[in-house]
Amino acid sequence: MIEKFEPDTIHKPVGPYCHVAKVSAKKLIFVAGQVPVDKDGNIVGVDPTDGLNATRRNRSHTDLAAQVRQTMLNLKEALESAGASLKDLVRLDKFVVASAMTEYKTAGIKAKDEVLGGLYVPGATVFVSGLMIPEALIEIEAIAAVDE
């Protein structure tokens, strides 16, 4: 169903991903951009006084790793609700606020990989000036494929 590989005619991946996913599946599942908001609607990884409905917007106390973990768990839950799992991912795109670029390259990638458990998925990481939720430093969208 999903064959992931690295063509020997191009460079090796520069991060934890693979270049190609060849898919022969009966269903594709598209997951909208997930953000670091828990089931109760609380943004994860920020001081509650600076949270989703606060008047102050302060990213200086934002825990990027916690935000990445929550975002990945939201993605996992979304996939499972559609009958898929993280193993069925064929594309994973990450949008990271540019001010968190250095932290994402260390703690953020590590947190993402903790949830993925060593799975490598084609996709892109794009650094942006901001996201819809000002306190969010990450948004992740995905495509999965299943044979069911």
* Residue in the structure block whose two tokens are 């606060």: 54
Candidate from 59-63, 74-78, 113-117 with smallest mean pLDDT:
59-63
The span from the CA of 61 to the CA of 64, in Å, is 9
Least confident span in 3-7, 27-31, 55-59, 139-143:
55-59
Counting the structural domains of the chain, the total is 1
- Return the HEC string of 82-112: CCCCHHHEEEEEEEEEHHHHHHHHHHHHHHH
Mean pLDDT of 53-66: 67
Q: For residue 52, what is the domain's CATH number? A: 3.30.1330.40
Q: Is the pTM of this model over 0.85?
A: no
Parent domain of 10: 2-146
pLDDT tens-digit series, residues 97-106: 999 999 999 9
